[in-house]
Chain A
Amino acid sequence: MTRAASSSGAGSVESAPEVGIGPDHRLRASVNSILMAVLPVVAAVICGGVLLALLGRDPVSFYSNVVGHGLLGSLGRQESLIRMAPLLCIAAGLMIAFPAGIWNLGTDGQFVVAGVVVAALGPELAPNTNGLVLFTVLFVVGFAVGAAWSIIPAVMKAWFGMNEIITTLMTIFLGLSFASLLVKEFFDDPSTTVPQTKVLAVEDRLPRMFGSRVHIGLVVGLVAVLAVHYMMTRTAFGLRLRIVGMNPAAAEHAGMNMRSLTLSIFLLSSGFAGLAAAVEIAGVHGMVRAEWNPAFGFAVVPLVFLARFHGPSVILFVGAFAMFSIGGESASRKADLPNFFVLVMVALMLIFLAISEFLQARSRNVVTHE
């Protein structure tokens, strides 16, 4: 019963406006879908501006600071691109789970646990391994640990039909505590005062590209999103997953092995969250402190919906979000606001997305009723 519930949820977001065939209709449909993606953003920017004005800040200078630092300034732009890397990896995983009707809300737990293991392993391996081997091992380990952290929800969903929202939420709390436990009790670097893992030397971290500070994790993220997009839209496996999401009963009736499909959806989608952590540790931090939780997962969930699981749009939304987070940090500092303003913007976009979707569905109904 929960399957039916989640599938109709995911399906309704995905349903594309395919009213008629022919170039004219197709053009109108694609103009429509671009409008649908842009309108919520514009409405959110306006609403956010009103909120800024209410708080006594100048919205125009705030927004121009955001764009000026996050996109146009060279340092800020590099920061934004660096931030995109883990977000894209997480998004790739969610692009598998959500269309298949699996609500993997536990990416933050999968991310943090994988991050700790990768951070502990990196400095041990680095002195005796060359870069390529090191990064391959770290990525594979990150992916595997992330996947492993979702085995319990996966098995409980596949065998007992247990709602994955409860179980994956619980694995976040479990994961955050477990990661802190690992850092404090097992991987603590005795030479530091705060509990943290040993540091992966800067020269052993992911190589940077084009003489900038942006590391190749960005490429990993981009490839991950595009590969998942291809898999979901162009392969038989992706088609099967989407059928499971749209109509689990039909999928079962068609003879699909629901258990192994459910299991692979969980493992793949949380594996990408683990890969995200490996990219972030090997590329940026080089170590993990106890209580570390950047909460990237909860930020990415709505972005994947805003982009309607469409790979290139996911990249755009993640890029805009990264730009807004990095630029927002600087603009908030200048405007003497906490950095939470970005959250308000994302929430506003989601709300306007829902409204625009409703309006679109209604206009479609009017057409069919005529």
Chain B
Amino acid sequence: MSDLFSTLFLASLVSGGVLVAVPLVFAGVGEAISERAGVLNVGLEGMMLMGAFGAFATAISLGSIWIGLLVGGLVGMATSLLMVVLCVRLNANQIVIGIAITIGAEGVTALLHSANYSDTYPRLPRAEVLDVPLLSRIPVLGDGLFSHHASAYLALLLVVLASWVLRSTGLGLNIKAAGDQPHALAAAGGNPRTTRTMAVMTTGFLAGVGGAHIALIGAGLFVPAVTHGAGFIAIVLAMLARGRFGWIVSGAILIGVSLSLTTAFQLVGVDVPIDAVQMLPFIMILVVLSVFGRGSYLPAALAVPYDPESR
């Protein structure tokens, strides 16, 4: 009995945790890139929703998860152009436009959903998983950790790639300069607006992929507000991580595991107060923040529009 309990419980916990964590990693890395470039993207949730819908519509009609993920990213990127034009080019307030994008996307995707799917509520087949050879056969944890849709491993690759770009390339230096000292970047011959534009579009793409992951692989369907606040959690993770991408991954897994604790407990027939469990990750984050957060660092020009004439 206790054997069955622990195996089933742990497997469901880990695999559910990773499933929740993957979209948080995509969106969180995107947000971190945008923040390093000085643009606080509160519209992340909206970009995820748009990506989720675009991806779902594509996957339903073409039957391909991969094309769905790609289209999701492109739709997210298209949504981010609104932020590029209004916040990077016209210097509008980033928080106001971010909220506008989020609530607007919530409305638009719900309307599109009702126009197309509200009678049929189509569902996608379960996404195929990729078993990592050998590792997925590790008893107890192997299946939960190494048997996922291939995009989960792409998320990890993305983390490595993004930290390398930021740490060791000229592009990364430009991005950090655009967030810390945009005027210095301009003086050195760079263009803060171009850099920020690229950063915001990258964020839009990654948020779109994250939203697509939720709809295609996590839920297998689209309903209004299917992302369920994941965008806001990703914002929190990105701000907490302060550019260290490993933290985004650990934070995402912490939250993913806490959220899937409920399902895991139900699976083995243990009754726990769901709500108390769901509070845990945020309480832990707050404790971590108050103990270690004193020297917290955010880019100096975060949420400050770059205006070449205002020097």
Chain A residues at the B interface, C-beta cutoff of 8 Å: 1-2, 4-6, 8-10, 12-13, 51, 55, 103, 152, 156, 160-163, 165-167, 169-170, 172-174, 177-178, 180-181, 184-185, 298-299, 301-302, 305, 337-338, 340-348, 350-351, 353-355, 357-358
Contacts of B303 in A (CB 8 A): 2, 5-6, 8-9
Contact across chains for A156 and B290 when beta carbons are under 8 A apart: yes
Contact across chains for B103 and A346 when beta carbons are under 8 A apart: yes
Q: Determine the distance from Cα of A301 to Cα of B115 in the docked complex, in whole angstroms.
A: 29
Nearest neighbor of A179 in chain B, beta-carbon distance: B275
Q: Determine the distance from Cα of A10 to Cα of B93 in the docked complex, in whole angstroms.
A: 8
Which of B106, B282, B304 interacts with A8 by CB under 8 Å?
B304
Contact across chains for B91 and A358 when beta carbons are under 8 A apart: yes
Contacts A2-B298, A169-B232, A174-B279 supplied; 11 other A-B pairs, CB < 8 Å: A1-B300, A9-B303, A12-B91, A165-B40, A165-B235, A165-B239, A302-B103, A340-B111, A344-B107, A351-B100, A355-B90
The total of Cβ contacts below 8 Å across the A-B interface reads 164
Chain B residues at the A interface, C-beta cutoff of 8 Å: 40, 42, 82, 86, 90-97, 99-108, 110-111, 113-115, 118, 224, 229, 232-233, 235-236, 239-240, 273-276, 278-279, 282-283, 285-286, 289-290, 293-294, 296, 298-305
Contact across chains for B86 and A355 when beta carbons are under 8 A apart: yes
Contact across chains for B273 and A343 when beta carbons are under 8 A apart: no
Contact across chains for A166 and B235 when beta carbons are under 8 A apart: yes
A to B CB contacts below 8 Å, 24 in the list: A1-B299, A5-B303, A5-B304, A6-B303, A9-B303, A10-B93, A160-B290, A163-B298, A165-B235, A166-B239, A166-B240, A169-B235, A172-B232, A298-B99, A301-B99, A302-B103, A305-B93, A337-B111, A338-B224, A343-B104, A347-B107, A350-B99, A351-B100, A351-B104
Q: Which of B93, B97, B99, B224 has the most CB of A within 10 A?
A: B93
Tell me if A's interface is mostly helix, strand, loop or mixed: helix
Q: Determine the distance from Cα of A12 to Cα of B310 in the docked complex, in whole angstroms.
A: 13
Contacts of B229 in A (CB 8 A): 173
Contacts of B286 in A (CB 8 A): 152, 167, 170
Q: Which of A152, A160, A338 has the most CB of B within 10 A?
A: A338
